[in-house]
Amino acid sequence: MNIENLSRNKSFGGWHKQYSHHSETLNCDMRFAIYLPPQAANGNKVPALYWLSGLTCTDENFMQKAAAHQMAAELGVAIIAPDTSPRGDDVADDEAYDLGKGAGFYVNATQAPWNRHYRMYDYVLNELPNLIESVFPVSDKRSIFGHSMGGHGALVLAMRNPGRYQSVSAFSPISNPIDCPWGKKAFTAYLGEDTASWAEYDSSLLMKKASQFVPALVDQGEADNFLVEQLKPEALEAAAKESGYPLTLNRHEGYDHSYYFIASFIGEHLHFHAKHLNK
């Protein structure tokens, strides 16, 4: 598979690199970033931690703002960050920030015009890791985490594919998208008016009926402007209680929805994943 290196920066003894490639799944060119820790030198394979970003973000936000490289270097874990949606002049878009480019919601769209490109679920689940594992010194031991829309995506991917991920975590995830404005808008556009199909992309509903478990960690800021209307962590808590899901959900007074919050607790998340990836 042909990929093009766009940038490379040495960081804490490892390398942060940015690439583009043509995605067959998304029918467009895509960009991703990868941080390879120093343990990956000389072709030594390291476990993989996939990061999914939130609305309006690209592959760059996490790598530049989360302060994750130093801990990843110490733990010997690679971090891969895809873009949040298909991109390109012929890719469908919307004027609003919460639909279209930058807002793929990690679903496989079934409705025109979105279904021509918007298949981020399949891209993150299959195409991207297949590429990563074929090109880089990265093993098939995977965990996944994300923020907001990306937290929703990470939880959904892990719960629908429990044998594929060692662990999952999220910062401020959209926990019950079928019952919040962001989710209702995106799911109506991408999946159609039949709300029965929406349930496969709602982490609270998936957690409630889960019978196979992936260890899960969620952190939520109590000063988050989106907490009540959009995020609804209480739905996750209720679902975990009903199914016995191994969820740890921490609430943090004073923290908002920003990368200041993520950077404050990224160390705990990296240690959580490393523990499970290195079992």
Q: 173 near 179, Cβ under 8 Å?
A: no
Angstrom distance (rounded) from CA 168 to CA 155: 6
**Selection from 169, 180, 204 nearest residue 66 by Cα:** 169
What tokens does 17 get? 């690199």
Q: 117 near 152, Cβ under 8 Å?
A: no
What DSSP element (H or E) covers 142? strand 138-147
Q: Give CA angle at 215 (212, 216), nearest 5°.
A: 115
What tokens does 164 get? 């594929």
Q: Give CA angle at 172 (170, 175), nearest 5°.
A: 85
Query: Radius of gyration of the chain from Cα atoms?
Result: 17
The verdict on whether 90 is a catalytic residue reads no
Q: 183 near 148, Cβ under 8 Å?
A: no
Determine which one of 117, 224, 269, 273 is catalytic: 224
Angstrom distance (rounded) from CA 114 to CA 118: 5
The verdict on whether 148 is a catalytic residue reads yes
**Selection from 186, 226, 218 nearest residue 202 by Cα:** 186
Determine which one of 69, 152, 257, 273 is catalytic: 257
Determine which one of 148, 167, 175, 203 is catalytic: 148
The verdict on whether 224 is a catalytic residue reads yes
Enumerate the active-site residues.
Answer: 148, 224, 257
